Chain A
Amino acid sequence: METVISCAVLLLIAGIGVAVYVKGQIYDPGLFRLDQHTLGKSQPAVKAPVGPQEDEKPVTSLGTTAPAPQAPSTAGPLDALAPRGWKTMGKVEQFTADSLYEKIDGRAEQYLDYKCVRLICTTLVNEQDSKQFIDVSVFDMGRPVQAFGVFSVERTEGLPAFALGREGYRSEASYFFWKGRYYVQIIPSDRGAVLAKASLDVAKTLEKRLSDDGDPIWGLTALPERDRIPGTVQYFVVDAMSLDFMKDTYIALYQKGGAKVMAFLSRKPSREEAAKTLASYESYLKNFGKVLGKRETDDYTLITGNMGGAFDAVFRKGRLIGGVSMVNDQSIAEKAALELLTALHGKD
């Protein structure tokens, strides 16, 4: 009986395979005909990377504090940027949110998460040695918090700080900083002394040209400074700690009990929103680990979880959600979370 059933199943599979193959050979021209109407709705118009478009504001709307250029220019803060002995190679390019992927394919999505308005960029080349060049990119992120956010998530841990803009750092001969609504990258072709000096000159020139209204970033002031490792604060618009429900969240590293501890903090629009986020966090702990305890007081709720040997402690206080994540020791995790909670008094 099993033989008959098995043979029948085999024949059925063979039949399906043949049918699919035959169907696949028959071309239906109507099935994938280009629908211009649908396309027009779903596909953003791709804009030329060079030069302003008719319906765009000129790049000078970037808010540069530099004097207006003599001749009409689309370069804005990148106008006449080359230090002595260097020249601009080609034209200054500009990309909008719709065309950003053309320049930074594979990374554009992250900038769009942070609401990138525009990228203007250029390449400077050494007049004496065309193999030496410097790529300069200025991202207009719309708001300071977004500029800080993309700067912070692009930053590699452990790189030395460098006094540029509101915050900057150096990686070999490359410089990165944010100021006001702008995030700036200056990346030379090599790490030699000539390039390093030229890169720094360019960075300092740009720093002077870009404006900043000085608005403070909430998370930078709300996260306690005590025990905080300098240069480790990050701001995530989405997916903080790879959690889809953790939006608008600040993260920082602290030195606690001889261990590095990652703390996080988010301010929700309402207590209800915060409660909802805490419930999502609890579900996540249950799905991928184990909830070890839940403490509820009049002031706060604290949940501790074991994620396969790493511990999370998360709290809600008013409309704040905070805590620590992936700590190797449970008691350190709980203590650090409570310290953070205490330090947040009056910051809701």
Chain B
Amino acid sequence: MADKTQGLTRREFVQRVSLGAAALAMALPASQGLSLPSTIKNGMGYRTLGRTGLEISEVGLGAGSISPSGANLIRAALSQGINFIETSSNYKNSQAETAIGQTVKSMGIRDKVVMLTKSGNTAMERLLDASPADIEKAVREELEGSLKRLQTDYVDVYLSPYQANSPQEAVHPALQEALEKFKKEGKIRFTGLSTHNDYANICMAAIEGGYYDVIMFPVNFATLQPRIGKSVSDAKKAVKEGTKKRADFERPIINVKEVLQAAQQKKVGVVAMKGAQEGFLPPFIHERLKGEFAKDTKLSFHQFAYRYVLDQPQVSTVSVRMANMLHLNEALVLPQKTLNG
């Protein structure tokens, strides 16, 4: 029985109200409880990965710690609603891809899983001046290896460059031509890049360049809140004072708010990484963060930190690096939690 409300059915009214709430949430700065999964099934939220249109679980399985003997974790995650796996050709000496390939094949669910992998053994910064043929060869070799280990004909999202170090890598014509070839060959569906250093500039270059569908970079309290980022940077600086710290192991803390907004405008999918990593959120700051953002939370710090990332409506998924079932159990309940518990 339709309940007419000013000419609308109840369903139409609820839909419009939901859309209005969604639009409002997108317009406002991210805050508690405003994350927007497109759909929720069995407690897991799913969001659209930018213009790829792929519907992916908002909690992604970060496979950096998984090897074939631990493949039951992949099986458990996939059976509990996670459909997005983030891996790389160099994770666990390629064993992570092997474990994923074996598991997905044995479960017979390739078409239901979104696989993201990366050219993890190709340092693009060393190939900037290489010939297009050499670049294609290097990335093709990587991609073919990944496809073989993943036991699939295609990867859904292929990130290359991996750990981009400069904006030039994000707009490199020869690399993009090579990736286009792989797309035409049916080996990859969508492209993206990942970056740990100078990530605001690199991501902005990628977004403005218009080629990449997906970007993966650090999104966490420190990169979203300038004063927290500054506090952590200052603390790290104080610790390192007087030591000969290697510059290439510094993890810069850069504000990414603008990147998220630009990505949203251009419909570039955002895969958030390092949501709770100590390099960005050292232990000394944990209680302070909880004190400011959630007074009475019963969440573990990791849950609390990842939940905050998910509260950013521009984030499609947060890659949670899982090493055991405890991590999986903690991650699986994230969609139903709020910062307060």
Q: A10-B17, A102-B245 are in contact. Are A43 and B235 (CB under 8 A)?
A: yes
Task: Determine which of A10, A17, A18, A27 lies in contact with B34 in the assembled complex, contact meaning CB atoms within 8 Å.
Answer: A17
Interface contact B25-A13, CB-CB below 8 Å = yes
B95 (CB) vs chain A CBs: closest residue: A156
Against A, the Cβ 8 Å flags (1 = close, 0 = not) of B211-253 are 0000000000000010110110011001110011110010000
Number of A-B contacts (CB under 8 A): 151
Task: Determine which of B21, B230, B326 lies in contact with A13 in the assembled complex, contact meaning CB atoms within 8 Å.
Answer: B21
Interface contact B231-A34, CB-CB below 8 Å = yes
Interface contact B239-A46, CB-CB below 8 Å = yes
Against B, the Cβ 8 Å flags (1 = close, 0 = not) of A220-241 are 0000000000000010101111
Q: Give the docked Cα–Cα distance between A33 and B231 (Å).
A: 7
A45 (CB) vs chain B CBs: closest residue: B239
Against A, the Cβ 8 Å flags (1 = close, 0 = not) of B91-104 are 00111001000000
A324 to chain B, nearest CB (A): 12
Interface contact A34-B238, CB-CB below 8 Å = yes
Interface centre among A2, A50, A155, A288 (most CB of B within 10 A): A288
Task: Determine which of A106, A153, A287 lies in contact with B67 in the assembled complex, contact meaning CB atoms within 8 Å.
Answer: A153
Interface contact B283-A13, CB-CB below 8 Å = no
Against B, the Cβ 8 Å flags (1 = close, 0 = not) of A29-66 are 00111111011001101111110000000000000000
Q: A2-B13, A34-B235, A154-B93 are in contact. Are A307 and B72 (CB under 8 A)?
A: yes
Interface contact A2-B239, CB-CB below 8 Å = no
Q: Give the docked Cα–Cα distance between A39 and B70 (Å).
A: 36
Chain B residues lying within 8 Å of A288, measured Cβ to Cβ, are 72, 75-76, 79-80, 325
B137 at the interface (CB under 8 A from A): no
Interface contact A3-B5, CB-CB below 8 Å = yes
What is the interface residue range for chain B against chain A?
Answer: 35 or more
A262 at the interface (CB under 8 A from B): yes
B42 at the interface (CB under 8 A from A): no
B324 at the interface (CB under 8 A from A): yes
Interface contact A244-B68, CB-CB below 8 Å = no
Q: Give the docked Cα–Cα distance between A106 and B91 (Å).
A: 10
Chain B residues lying within 8 Å of A27, measured Cβ to Cβ, are 227
Task: Determine which of A2, A38, A106, A242 lies in contact with B70 in the assembled complex, contact meaning CB atoms within 8 Å.
Answer: A242
B169 to chain A, nearest CB (A): 19
Q: Give the docked Cα–Cα distance between A21 and B32 (Å).
A: 11
Interface contact A326-B292, CB-CB below 8 Å = no
Q: A49-B244, A156-B94, A244-B324 are in contact. Are A307 and B284 (CB under 8 A)?
A: no
B71 at the interface (CB under 8 A from A): yes
Chain B residues lying within 8 Å of A251, measured Cβ to Cβ, are 69
Chain A residues lying within 8 Å of B300, measured Cβ to Cβ, are none
A216 to chain B, nearest CB (A): 23
B171 to chain A, nearest CB (A): 26
Interface contact A34-B32, CB-CB below 8 Å = no
Interface contact B29-A243, CB-CB below 8 Å = no
A192 at the interface (CB under 8 A from B): no
Chain B residues lying within 8 Å of A42, measured Cβ to Cβ, are 282-284
- In chain B between 1 and 34, which residues have their CB closer than 8 angstroms to a CB of chain A? 3, 5-6, 10, 13, 17, 20-21, 24-25, 28-29, 31-32, 34
B56 at the interface (CB under 8 A from A): no
Interface contact A35-B284, CB-CB below 8 Å = yes
* Total A residues in contact with B, Cβ cutoff 8 Å: 62
Task: Determine which of A13, A36, A38, A46 lies in contact with B24 in the assembled complex, contact meaning CB atoms within 8 Å.
Answer: A13
Q: A13-B21, A38-B284, A239-B323 are in contact. Are A102 and B249 (CB under 8 A)?
A: yes
A41 (CB) vs chain B CBs: closest residue: B284
Q: Give the docked Cα–Cα distance between A2 and B235 (Å).
A: 51
B250 to chain A, nearest CB (A): 10
B248 to chain A, nearest CB (A): 9
Chain B residues lying within 8 Å of A241, measured Cβ to Cβ, are 69-70, 72
Chain B residues lying within 8 Å of A309, measured Cβ to Cβ, are 106-107
Q: Give the docked Cα–Cα distance between A288 and B292 (Å).
A: 36
Interface centre among B20, B31, B71, B326 (most CB of A within 10 A): B31
Interface contact B98-A308, CB-CB below 8 Å = no
A310 at the interface (CB under 8 A from B): yes
A12 to chain B, nearest CB (A): 11
Against B, the Cβ 8 Å flags (1 = close, 0 = not) of A292-329 are 00000000000000011110000000000000011010
A14 at the interface (CB under 8 A from B): yes
Q: Give the docked Cα–Cα distance between A102 and B71 (Å).
A: 29
B76 (CB) vs chain A CBs: closest residue: A288
Interface contact B282-A43, CB-CB below 8 Å = yes
11 A-B pairs (CB sep. < 8 Å): A2-B10, A10-B20, A14-B28, A20-B31, A42-B283, A46-B239, A241-B72, A242-B325, A288-B76, A309-B106, A310-B75
**A residues touching B (Cβ–Cβ < 8 Å)?**
2-3, 6, 9-10, 13-14, 16-18, 20-21, 24, 27, 31-36, 38-39, 42-43, 45-50, 101-103, 105-106, 110, 153-157, 234, 236, 238-244, 251, 262, 284, 287-288, 307-310, 325-326, 328
Known: A36-B238, A43-B239. 9 other contacts (CB 8 A): A13-B34, A27-B227, A32-B231, A34-B235, A48-B244, A241-B69, A242-B70, A287-B325, A309-B107
Pairs of residues from A and B, 7 with the lowest C-beta to C-beta distance, nearest first: A242-B70, A242-B73, A32-B231, A17-B28, A20-B31, A244-B324, A244-B326
